[in-house]
C-alpha cells in the first residue's frame, strides 16, 4: 500500500485513461486540492480514496477517467473521511502534511504570514485567416449585328453624238455591215470578312482592407471575501470586495 505522504505539491494528476486532469496545488488532511485547466480553471478536492496509485515520478493516477472527474462532485472540501487505505495512522494532524490545519484552504504560508492568491480570466482575441468567398471571372460569347455604310465605285457609260464634216479616210471607208464596239464597264462590290482583334483587357488584383469587429464574452474572476467572526482584532488595509483588488 503506498503512502499518501509521497504526494508532492505540483505533481501531475492523471485519470485512469492517462489523460492529465491538473496539478496538485495542496495536500489536505484527507484529500488533494487540484486546480484543473489554465484559463477556465476549476478547483477539485479529490479524496484519497479515489487515488489509484502514485508513480515513481510522483504523478498521481485516479480511479476514474478525466471525463468522469467533472461528474464526481469534487468541487467542495470533503468532510472527514477514512484514511486507512493510505497508511496514515501515524499522521494525527495536518501538520504532518504540506502545511498547517489553519492553511488547508487555497493558499500558502510563509514565515511572514499566509498569502492568498486571486486569479481572473482575461479576454484575448486572435484572428485566423479563412476563405470567406470567391469571385469568378469568365468570358461568354454573345452575338450582335453591326451595320455601317461602305462607299463603292462603279463606271457608267456616256454616249454623246458630235456633228463632223471632214473628208473620209481609208479607215473610215473600211465600214462593214454589223460592226460594233464593246466597252467594258466595271463596278466595286462589298466583300465582308471577320478579323479577330483584342479590344480590351481585364486586370484582376486583390487588396487587403482592415475592418473592426467588436467581440464580447463573460470572464470569471475571484474576489477576496473577508468574513470576521467573533472577537477578531487586528489591522488590515481597506478591501473593496465588489471591485478589483
pTM of the model: 0.34
Could you list the beta-strand ranges (E) of 16-156.
20-27, 31-36, 42-47, 51-54, 60-62, 108-110, 113-115
Q: What average pLDDT does this structure show over 14-30?
A: 89
Q: For the segment 38-88, what is each residue's pLDDT rounded down to a tens digit?
A: 766 788 899 888 888 888 888 899 999 988 988 888 888 877 544 333 433
Please give the share of the chain, as a percent, with pLDDT higher than 70. 76
The confidence score (pLDDT) of residue 166 equals 87
Which of 130-134, 151-155, 239-243 shows the lowest per-residue confidence on average (mean pLDDT)?
Answer: 239-243
What does the pLDDT read at residue 154?
92
Q: At 34, give phi and psi (nearest 5°).
A: -120, 130
Question: What distance in Å separates the CA atoms of residue 66 and residue 89, rounded to the nearest whole number?
Answer: 30
Residue 85: the pLDDT is: 39
Q: What pLDDT sits at residue 109?
A: 52
Predicted confidence (pLDDT) per residue in 92-128, tens digit: 333 343 444 333 334 555 555 667 777 888 888 888 8
Place of cell 482575441: 125
pLDDT at 1 over 70: no
With bands split at pLDDT 50, 70 and 90, how would you rate the model's confidence at 7? confident
**Spatial distance between the Cα atoms of 32 and 48, rounded to a whole number of angstroms:** 7
Give burial (CB, 10 Å; 0-12/13-18/19+) of 18.
exposed
Amino acid at each position: 500500500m503506498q503512502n499518501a505522504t509521497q504526494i508532492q505539491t505540483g505533481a501531475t494528476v492523471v485519470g485512469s485513461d492517462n489523460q492529465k486532469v491538473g496539478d496538485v496545488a495542496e495536500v489536505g488532511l484527507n484529500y488533494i486540492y487540484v486546480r484543473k485547466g489554465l484559463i477556465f480553471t476549476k478547483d477539485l478536492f479529490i479524496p484519497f480514496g479515489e487515488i489509484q496509485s502514485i508513480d515513481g515520478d510522483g504523478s498521481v493516477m485516479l480511479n476514474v477517467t478525466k471525463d468522469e472527474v467533472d461528474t464526481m462532485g469534487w468541487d467542495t472540501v470533503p468532510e472527514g473521511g477514512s484514511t486507512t487505505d493510505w497508511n496514515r495512522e501515524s499522521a494525527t494532524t495536518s501538520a504532518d502534511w504540506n502545511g498547517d490545519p489553519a492553511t488547508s484552504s487555497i493558499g500558502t504560508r510563509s514565515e511572514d504570514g499566509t498569502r492568498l492568491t486571486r486569479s481572473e480570466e482575461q479576454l484575448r482575441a486572435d484572428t485566423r485567416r479563412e476563405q470567406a468567398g470567391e469571385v469568378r471571372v469568365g468570358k461568354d460569347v454573345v452575338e450582335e449585328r453591326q451595320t455601317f455604310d461602305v462607299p463603292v465605285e462603279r463606271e457608267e457609260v456616256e454616249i454623246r453624238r458630235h456633228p463632223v464634216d471632214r473628208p473620209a479616210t481609208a479607215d473610215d471607208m473600211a465600214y462593214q455591215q454589223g460592226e460594233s464596239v464593246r466597252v467594258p464597264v466595271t463596278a466595286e462590290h462589298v466583300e465582308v470578312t471577320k478579323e479577330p482583334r483584342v479590344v480590351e483587357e481585364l486586370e484582376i488584383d486583390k487588396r487587403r482592407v482592415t475592418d473592426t469587429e467588436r467581440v464580447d464574452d463573460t470572464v470569471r474572476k475571484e474576489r477576496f471575501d473577508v468574513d470576521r467572526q467573533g472577537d477578531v482584532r487586528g489591522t488590515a488595509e481597506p478591501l473593496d470586495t465588489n471591485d478589483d483588488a
